[in-house]
Amino acid sequence: MRSRLWTGAGWLCFAAGAVGVFVPLLPTTPLLLLAAGCWARGSPRMRAWLLSHPRFGPQLQLWFEHGVVPRRAKVLASVLMGAGSALGITTSGMSVGMASVVVLTLAAVLAWLWLRPESAKTPPKP
């Protein structure tokens, strides 16, 4: 039963991530990472399929094996997070205090993101 719940959660995350390919502010990569994590506990076959996927697999493998976030992904995430937050703050009419919380949270997430390595470390050649 637990395996089926993990598999179902993986499918839910995968479906949301697939929608994120077409919806600019929906975070595709984190949802696919969650799908792979859920499938690791519920359906190793589906996790293997996702990690071998020609479009998503290489970047997911870099993350799982080395914690790598490529520079292009960092820049794109930064721009989209900034634009989405700015749009949300200006159109929602939220208070200055709440807007400050949003901006501080965004800054913390971006700091964490930019501290991730941009390429896998390769062992030195002898």
Tally of domains in the chain: 2
Q: Is 26 left (phi over 0), alpha (psi -120 to 50) or beta?
A: beta
Q: What is the pLDDT of residues 5-45, one digit of tens each?
A: 999 999 999 999 999 888 877 788 889 999 999 999 999 99
Shared domain for 92 and 61, answered yes or no, is no
Does residue 32 lie in a domain region? yes
Does residue 57 lie in a domain region? yes
Shared domain for 53 and 75, answered yes or no, is no
pLDDT of residue 126: 59
Does residue 54 lie in a domain region? yes
Is the confidence at residue 124, as pLDDT, over 90?
no
Q: What is the pLDDT of residues 81-103, one digit of tens each?
A: 898 889 989 999 889 999 999 99
Shared domain for 26 and 60, answered yes or no, is yes
Q: Can you spell out the DSSP letters for 11-27?
A: HHHHHHHHHHTTSTTS-
Shared domain for 15 and 46, answered yes or no, is yes
Does residue 124 lie in a domain region? no
Range of the domain at 106: 71-114
Shared domain for 57 and 10, answered yes or no, is yes
